[in-house]
Structure 1
Amino acid sequence: MGKMNNGILDNFSGTIGKVVGSNWRGVPYMRSKAKKRTGALSDAQLEQQARFAIAGKFTQSMNDLLTLGFKDQAVKMTGKNYAQSIILRDAITGTYPDFQIDYSKVPISQGKLTKAKSPVATAEANSILKFTWTNDAGRKLAKANDQAVLIAYCPEMNETEYAFGPARDAATGNLDVAEFSGKKVHAWISFMSANGKLIANSVYCGELTIS
């Protein structure tokens, strides 16, 4: 049960009557107490639940990465929730109950830094995912020492591997994905400025089978 010591304008945590008080990232808020469901879910509700489930499963696999990737967009929400909202809007395909994610429409990061130019991901021997791109340092906000962010997601395992790779002017970098050997992955690349303040829009690099 919640307790309010200083009247109705006081912050509180817990339940008072039909109101629940809580705190998120230092911001106090109140919401109505959830009502118990009395009937079966409608077809529309079941469909919406399925959409949320598939989007939530994917974003949970890269929670920390999405926090970084959407640090400028996720205002009063988590990066995971921001990404999930984009997936629900743009990237769910198929019909209920056979929904899928179109990974080519899924961003992992968004920002003002110049995105990777002409990136390519290839599956190399010994479970290495090799990324190449064009060194475009000097174009727009691109700098030679921008740091590559190399990303691989395995749907079968619902796990993500990522690493902060070499600088933009290296034009190539490797991601070790040994745990995904023999499985299909989806790959993305992004860039982060050397001081960590700017990040680029991610670029989808396709689906590959890891050897």
Structure 2
Amino acid sequence: MAICNVGPYGHPSGKIGSLVFYILNGQPVCRTIGKPGKPSIKQLANQQAMSVTMELVKPMADFINVSFKLEAEGTVKNPHNLATSYIKKQALIGQYPDIKVDYSKVVLSQGSLEMAKDLKITKGKEGLNLSWNSDMEENAAADDILMVLVSHPTKKRASSYLNAARRSDGNCFLPLDKEWMINQQMEIYVCLKSSNEKSISDSVYVGNLNGAPESESEKAEKAHFMATKARFDVVEADYHKKRLELAEGLIESRAFRHLQKEYRVLRDKLDFLPGKPS
């Protein structure tokens, strides 16, 4: 049964058929219940996009609760909603079933505060060294607070430094207390917030450390290339051997013509096949 609080044409509350109506953050919401039908490719793509986004965002909760706090104030959205929306819309690449993150396009804050320039990151034995240009323009202050997020995608973890340094410091050290943190893929993001927490800068992607592991599709492409190359090496050796025999006066056979065709097909295929080692 559904309840209408503002008359027969108002917002219902409760269940009507396969629909459920309720209020979330002051807004009327409707969702379906029951078992859905077979999903379309578009639906599967949307599901994978959301899954990839949530896998990245979930470990960042401590950071985005601060970095998106100002933008979420006065709206029905929360910091998690904003981070999810920005990343899903702007930072995903590829097509289903191989959707992945373009880390350089990830947005973790948006604001008017001046961002530091000339950011540089290097890796030490026990952590990261971050430096930047501490010169200031009009929309900046020496005591602006540097926030740093280090994402560890292969471990589905993130390291948040909410008070890493002041703008005027020009550099800071970010300790990483586990060996895998130093040696695994790292994606680094930085933003600045004012000391009174009333303004924040756009986030900046500082870069990657340790590279990125191959995706499942890249592994499959490489394996297919190597298998094709191995077959080509066998066919090539046999083909050149048979050519020498023909040059010595042996009669060309149907078997040789099949071998020659396979040799040419494999040779041409390898020129365009993805997965070739760099």
**TM-score above 0.5, yes or no:** yes
- Higher deviation after alignment, 75-84 or 150-159: 75-84
Q: How does 1:1-211 map to 2 (within 5 A)?
A: 15-18=14-17, 20-25=20-25, 27-34=26-33, 36-38=35-37, 40-74=38-72, 75-126=75-126, 128-137=127-136, 139-163=137-161, 164-179=163-178, 180-209=181-210
**Paired positions, count:** 205
Deviation of 1:63 after TM superposition, in Å, equals 2.0
Q: Which amino acid aligns with 2:191?
A: S
For residues 205 and 100 of structure 1, the distance between their equivalents in structure 2, rounded to whole angstroms, comes to: 19
Q: Which amino acid aligns with 1:129?
A: L
Instruction: Could you tell me which runs of 5 or more consecutive residues in structure 1 were left unpaired when the two chains were aligned.
Output: none
Is the Cα–Cα contact under 8 Å of residues 62 and 160 in structure 2 kept in the other structure? no
Deviation of 1:146 after TM superposition, in Å, equals 0.4
Q: TM-score normalized by structure 2?
A: 0.66
* RMSD, aligned α-carbons: 2.6
Deviation of 1:94 after TM superposition, in Å, equals 2.1
Instruction: Could you tell me which runs of 5 or more consecutive residues in structure 2 were left unpaired when the two chains were aligned.
Output: 212-278
For residues 173 and 149 of structure 2, the distance between their equivalents in structure 1, rounded to whole angstroms, comes to: 10
More strand by share: 1
Is the Cα–Cα contact under 8 Å of residues 70 and 199 in structure 2 kept in the other structure? no
Deviation of 1:58 after TM superposition, in Å, equals 0.7
Q: Percent identity?
A: 26
For residues 15 and 100 of structure 2, the distance between their equivalents in structure 1, rounded to whole angstroms, comes to: 41
For residues 4 and 94 of structure 1, the distance between their equivalents in structure 2, rounded to whole angstroms, comes to: 44
Q: TM-score normalized by structure 1?
A: 0.85
Question: Deviation per CA, 1:148-192, whole angstroms, max 9, x where unpaired?
Answer: 101100001111111111110000112112231321100011111
Question: Deviation per CA, 1:23-73, whole angstroms, max 9, x where unpaired?
Answer: 434x252425445413x1111211111111101111111123223222333
User: Larger Cα Rg: Structure 1 or Structure 2?
Assistant: 2
More helix by share: 2
User: CA 1:99–1:46 in structure 2 vs 1: closer, same or farther (change >3 Å)?
Assistant: same
User: CA 1:100–1:8 in structure 2 vs 1: closer, same or farther (change >3 Å)?
Assistant: same
